[in-house]
Amino acid sequence: MNFWQKLPHGFTVLAPMEGVTDVVFRDVVARAGAPDVFFTEFTNVSSFASEKGRHDALERLDLKIAPNLSKTDPNISKITDRATNSTPVVAQIWGKNPKHFGDLASALEELGFAGLDINMGCPDRHVNKAGGGAAMIKTPDLALECIKCARKNTKLPVSVKTRLGFTKIEEYKTWLPLLLNQHLAALTVHLRTRKEMSKAPAHYELIPEIIKLRDEISPETILIINGDIDDLKSAKELSEKYPGVDGFMIGRGVFKNPYCFTTHEPTREELQNLFLYHLDIFDIRAKELASRDSRYPYEPIKHFIKIYFTSFDGASELRQKLMECKSTSELRKILEQ
């Protein structure tokens, strides 16, 4: 039995999001209220295969925050110990070179991941030009070869996250059976085509048809639905409406509410405290990467500010001040004021 099969019916998953769901943010979400499964940001298999890119690839695949610093620094261990995050983490990978899929697959088990997911849905122009993400929908033979090579090299359950099709919705009628015929451990369907990006509403009307395909072709494959599901409440409603779906993946909902995997409605103070926690973990991660001759850049933390400071009088002015800060100490100072 793999870990997917042990999850409760109607389980929740934090979607893989590049530049967002790294080890730091996963920890922040776990503190607010963890989903049943986390996905990492995606890692390029060919980057891992090259001497130059391997360091960066492995950094993305860190599962724990500063394990070495925590051992020697009690101040750090006090903070990292709070994050007793035992939720399974699935490593998402992408690329187009089957051998490289095999090489990375064989490393992931040892790194401590619960599963391996192949990205066949990313609409990014550069990723698609490199033959990865949603471009795989147009090269099904290669897609199947990559799945085969990944599987051959790991005992981890292998899953795929994909879209309905590249250009037309109807493509799902041939694309999804092709994937289901691989008897994957799990299949996540983002209910849009590549062409629709994230703009058109997710095609919930197709859920019954997708359940039918799964039941007919590969009943053992865990089916996860993704697209426009904002929180636990919406996931529960969908689960009642479509009991044939096993799990629900939430992406951008976490930007609206980091407590989206719970029914808790956070107060302004709780959100601010969560941001302060984010800053603590951020600083520890920066220190850790510096000790490894690497860097955890400051600027991307600005993307997160809107999550924590919203919907109250003066939120916009406060955000503006926070956006002007150049370090986590400056951010803290503004909040103290």
Ligand X SMILES: Cc1cc2nc3c(=O)[nH]c(=O)nc-3n(C[C@H](O)[C@H](O)[C@H](O)COP(=O)(O)O)c2cc1C
Interface residues with ligand X (CB under 6 A)? 15-20, 41-42, 92, 119, 121-122, 161, 190, 198, 226-229, 250-253
Residue 229 beta carbon to ligand X: minimum distance, rounded to whole angstroms: 5
Q: Which is nearer to ligand X, 228 or 280 (CB)?
A: 228
Residue 192 beta carbon to ligand X: minimum distance, rounded to whole angstroms: 8
Residue 318 beta carbon to ligand X: minimum distance, rounded to whole angstroms: 23
Residue 231 beta carbon to ligand X: minimum distance, rounded to whole angstroms: 10
Residue 41 beta carbon to ligand X: minimum distance, rounded to whole angstroms: 5
Output the residue with the shortest Cβ distance to ligand X.
251
CA separation for the pair 327, 247 (Å, rounded):
39
Residue 127 beta carbon to ligand X: minimum distance, rounded to whole angstroms: 9
Q: Which is nearer to ligand X, 70 or 188 (CB)?
A: 188
Q: Which is nearer to ligand X, 56 or 73 (CB)?
A: 56
Catalytic residues, by residue number, are 122
Q: Which is nearer to ligand X, 66 or 248 (CB)?
A: 248
Q: Which is nearer to ligand X, 151 or 194 (CB)?
A: 194
Residue with tokens 């070495």: 68
Rg, C-alpha atoms of the chain: 20
CA proximity to 203, closest of 188, 212, 192: 192
CA separation for the pair 86, 78 (Å, rounded):
17
CA proximity to 54, closest of 110, 100, 90: 100
Q: Which is nearer to ligand X, 202 or 286 (CB)?
A: 202
Could you tell me how many residues make up the chain?
A: 337
CA separation for the pair 173, 183 (Å, rounded):
16
Kindly list the distances between the CA atom of residue 39 and the CA atoms of 165, 169, 170, 275, in Å, as whole numbers in the listed order. Answer: 22, 26, 28, 21
Q: For the chain, how long is the longest CA-to-CA vector?
A: 61
Residue 257 beta carbon to ligand X: minimum distance, rounded to whole angstroms: 12
Q: Which is nearer to ligand X, 76 or 202 (CB)?
A: 202
